[in-house]
Structure 1
């Protein structure tokens, strides 16, 4: 059955996991073809005996979220023996010791077709001593040195789809032992975010490897030479003649607003671009410390993620009817929403708000937002604003009954200490209706704020917070069996704390007899407690 072949272990308590592990996972190892582990403590248990992975003889796809470097190295030698494995996804929770070791291990998997890897820091790698890999679909979410990009492509003769979300040019690091170019005749889809990579250097990559591509998506930070429409036209005509989709976003932060942007728009408004139905616009925002300019494609080309800037089509004399971007799942608000917005996102289930708090001067923000997306279907809301008023969060929660994941800054709770009772009254509807199970609070929380959020979000299973040093009182409160406020909570992550808190927490749990069965880890300056 599907239950026995596809195992997805994410939001589960430790006691429930142990039952699941002994009664379902172990007895059915030989039948499982899909295995996903999202909890770093779970991976620690499963890979305590790494050779057991050999029992998963039908395993085709493995997804390891939040894995530690030490666990990866433990079991990887055994993965090579799994002849059915064709897809691997790995995200590292902590800093990894060597990107070279990671990729050399992955490239040894002779049946691998799909690889997605995510890591945090910038690490250098050459790809000079690698055998070619059969990987067809490669996604790298992490800082990858542009100096190694040429050699990476030379190692992937069967590559069809490539995505790198942080391709970075480091002036202090030079390319070594450049490999001979190969023809990537299967490469059709390329999606890159370029940081400080000169157009001259990227143009060489296009000419060497991109002849057969059909879809090119670029996000570029810095280097205004990428805004040369005539140069792009020549590149496309002679070196990317199969290109169907050209999707570009260029960001810059100049000291002064560039008045040439109207001329740039005109370069991309010739018959060449119009015949292909490739249209562009720009947005600029003057700020006190630095300005922001962006030039971008206005046709979404079935993107799943979409960044919304304030509409300026009227200034450009462009007139579009209201358009429904059905492919978009994640909407990022990066500009003030105007009334009667022409863009509608009918299938969005994740919203990130990252625009200035100035947009909240009146009630228009939520009113206009309701015209852009169906708020009822949101399952995840991230507020990347420190001074987002909690009253506005309450309004949003009233309109998002299916929300299960929420993130905001603890600064929004500044008035809680003096107005605890007032907010509890305001939140009567939320207390009864909200389904939020995962909460991330950025910043440092007081015990009083934690009491408040546990009261408001009574169904919490996962909580990530920063704290103001009083870890013992916070741990005692959250694990208390007396008030039982956090009865559903079973995973706590306390971010950016000293390692001494690991021993303090263990001692406290033992002294006060707070938990009988738990796992605790200190990973990348974060304390993880699972029970």
Structure 2
């Protein structure tokens, strides 16, 4: 076997027996040569780290990626990672719910050579605060940190104090818990290397976030924020002062705010956001627009940056108010790959998204019989290009899903709620006829169903989607043995 081949190991879909053979015949003999290791199935990590001390043999390992790893297995071998002299990057995706982040972060921050860290986790109760405490001993050399999971805002200050070399920070859910018991704040440090910050703020008030900006964001060049509710985030003059005096190097200001306005000065929603149309914003070429979720609620909306930023995701709401005088360039729609429908599509929509390959439907379509929904949809996106379709609606008729499948011959991933199959038992022959074209043409390999399936529904699914490689469903434990005969 050529030596270069065995420096990078990427193991995704594989059976347990095949992996055991691969482990004994390939991994074990070449541990000291591997510099990249990715394990994507839960049992692969269990086998590789059955004896945690064996990780010490991966002396050249630079990048470790663990997808869908169980918390107990991760805790076992994490202590041994500190002895790997070349480990620069780690990506961890935990499968089980997390109630405390203390152990996770304290162990990761002990890795003295780590430059890149990406962590993904879930919590069981979104109302219950997570606990994570940092001390002066938790300083880490991490330069690039991505956290995909709820992180308490009250611990954010101390987190930043532990990352003196941080350059890039991304947190997809920075949450303010009212009953979180914060410990004493660490002494602030100057983050002179921090250039890029991307945050989604959940229930974090502007006044509190402003303190973070003044303490840590002096050198940032790119700021991307997603927030809601607190209307002070729409105060253009306050942002202007912050940028002038505390973020003077800022090149990109990218904001997305969703919420309503309750003004004490008789100012409307449009009056407030129109303040972003001053010379300060125009000279920096920072342009903004907005949409309304509902036609008759113009005091609430989604306000967001447009050009010159390239986005991969676009959420369609009711409509941009045509009477608003905001000066902005036409959005760069060529970069958009994912189209999310969150409101009723108006007929004769003039914007066409030519490069869409993923579609999410979240808005309840009231009138499906006249085909207007699909007709309007075809005027906005190229359905033949879609490779992924997600339907996050409980009562989306399966007959409509069939219509969409007929128009999406290149679909490889499909996700919908199991409730859509409730009529299958009584109308099997009807759907069988409708599906004849789909049975021959569909290429779906990945199917995700939300909810619990009956055995009849599973039998129908296997019959329709015969090319499946990955199926995620919910079933009762008593049905597992019966299910096996259909697979």
In the TM superposition, what are the counterparts of 1:298-317 in structure 2 within 5 Å? 298-299=306-307, 301-316=309-324
Say if 2:306 and 2:331, in contact at 8 Å, map to a contact too: no
Q: Partner of 1:233: helix, strand, or coil?
A: helix
> Can you list the C-alpha shifts for 1:489-530, whole angstroms capped at 9, x where unaligned?
xxxxxxxxxxxxxxxxxxxxxxxxxxxxxxxxxxxxxxxxxx
Q: Counterparts of 1:288 and 1:445 in 2: how far apart (Å)? A: 39
Q: Alignment partner for residue 157 of structure 1, among 136, 159, 164?
A: 164
Query: Offset at 1:151?
Result: 0.7
TM-score of the pair, normalised by structure 1: 0.83
Query: Offset at 1:421?
Result: 1.7
Match of 2:191 in 1: 184
Residues 324 and 303 of structure 1: is their aligned pair in 2 closer, same or farther, counting only changes over 3 Å? closer
Say if 1:161 and 1:187, in contact at 8 Å, map to a contact too: yes
Residues 402 and 13 of structure 1: is their aligned pair in 2 closer, same or farther, counting only changes over 3 Å? farther
Match of 1:99 in 2: 101
Q: Counterparts of 2:440 and 2:344 in 1: how far apart (Å)? A: 32
Query: Offset at 1:201?
Result: 0.9
Residues 363 and 300 of structure 1: is their aligned pair in 2 closer, same or farther, counting only changes over 3 Å? farther
* 2:366 pairs with 1:358: yes
Residues 72 and 384 of structure 1: is their aligned pair in 2 closer, same or farther, counting only changes over 3 Å? same
* 2:399 pairs with 1:394: no
Match of 2:480 in 1: 475
Q: Alignment partner for residue 270 of structure 2, among 262, 267, 284?
A: 262
> Can you list the C-alpha shifts for 1:418-463, whole angstroms capped at 9, x where unaligned?
1112212211222223222221111222211111111111122322
Q: Which moved more, 1:209-218 or 1:314-323?
A: 314-323
Match of 2:433 in 1: 425
Query: Offset at 1:401?
Result: 2.9
Residues 358 and 160 of structure 1: is their aligned pair in 2 closer, same or farther, counting only changes over 3 Å? farther
Say if 1:35 and 1:59, in contact at 8 Å, map to a contact too: yes
Say if 1:4 and 1:28, in contact at 8 Å, map to a contact too: yes
* 2:251 pairs with 1:248: no
Match of 1:168 in 2: 175
Say if 1:324 and 1:345, in contact at 8 Å, map to a contact too: no
Match of 2:473 in 1: 465
In the TM superposition, what are the counterparts of 1:189-204 in structure 2 within 5 Å? 189-204=196-211
Q: Counterparts of 1:292 and 1:415 in 2: how far apart (Å)? A: 38
Q: Which segments of 5 or more consecutive residues in structure 1 lack a partner in the other structure? A: 487-531
* 2:231 pairs with 1:224: yes
Tell me the number of residue pairs that the alignment of Structure 1 and Structure 2 aligns.
477
Match of 1:51 in 2: 53
Q: Partner of 2:137: helix, strand, or coil?
A: coil
Q: Counterparts of 1:41 and 1:111 in 2: how far apart (Å)? A: 27
Q: Counterparts of 2:330 and 2:301 in 1: how far apart (Å)? A: 25
Residues 341 and 5 of structure 1: is their aligned pair in 2 closer, same or farther, counting only changes over 3 Å? farther
Q: Partner of 2:240: helix, strand, or coil?
A: helix
Q: Which moved more, 1:334-343 or 1:280-289?
A: 280-289
Q: Counterparts of 1:265 and 1:63 in 2: how far apart (Å)? A: 43
Q: Alignment partner for residue 73 of structure 1, among 62, 72, 75?
A: 75
Q: Counterparts of 1:279 and 1:40 in 2: how far apart (Å)? A: 45
Q: Counterparts of 1:251 and 1:83 in 2: how far apart (Å)? A: 46
Residues 107 and 417 of structure 1: is their aligned pair in 2 closer, same or farther, counting only changes over 3 Å? same
> Can you list the C-alpha shifts for 1:389-420, whole angstroms capped at 9, x where unaligned?
21222222223333322210011112111111
Residues 238 and 324 of structure 1: is their aligned pair in 2 closer, same or farther, counting only changes over 3 Å? closer
Q: Alignment partner for residue 121 of structure 2, among 119, 122, 147?
A: 119
Residues 478 and 26 of structure 1: is their aligned pair in 2 closer, same or farther, counting only changes over 3 Å? farther
Query: Offset at 1:37?
Result: 1.8
Say if 1:282 and 1:294, in contact at 8 Å, map to a contact too: yes
Q: Alignment partner for residue 16 of structure 1, among 18, 25, 36?
A: 18
Query: Offset at 1:17?
Result: 2.7
Query: Offset at 1:346?
Result: 4.1
Say if 1:63 and 1:90, in contact at 8 Å, map to a contact too: yes
Q: CA RMSD in A?
A: 2.7
Query: Offset at 1:268?
Result: 1.0
Q: Counterparts of 1:261 and 1:185 in 2: how far apart (Å)? A: 37
Match of 2:91 in 1: 89
Say if 1:128 and 1:178, in contact at 8 Å, map to a contact too: no
TM-score of the pair, normalised by structure 2: 0.90
Q: Which moved more, 1:159-168 or 1:337-346?
A: 337-346
Q: Counterparts of 2:142 and 2:367 in 1: how far apart (Å)? A: 46
> Can you list the C-alpha shifts for 1:213-243, whole angstroms capped at 9, x where unaligned?
1111111122111111110111111111111
Q: Which moved more, 1:37-46 or 1:164-173?
A: 37-46
> Can you list the C-alpha shifts for 1:352-405, whole angstroms capped at 9, x where unaligned?
222222374642333333344443343322211111221222222223333322
Q: Counterparts of 1:19 and 1:292 in 2: how far apart (Å)? A: 59
Kindly indicate whether structure 1 or structure 2 has the higher relative contact order, using CA contacts under 8 Å at least 6 residues apart. Answer: 1
Q: Counterparts of 2:51 and 2:365 in 1: how far apart (Å)? A: 51
In the TM superposition, what are the counterparts of 1:489-528 in structure 2 within 5 Å? none
Q: Partner of 1:242: helix, strand, or coil?
A: coil
Q: Which moved more, 1:100-109 or 1:274-283?
A: 274-283
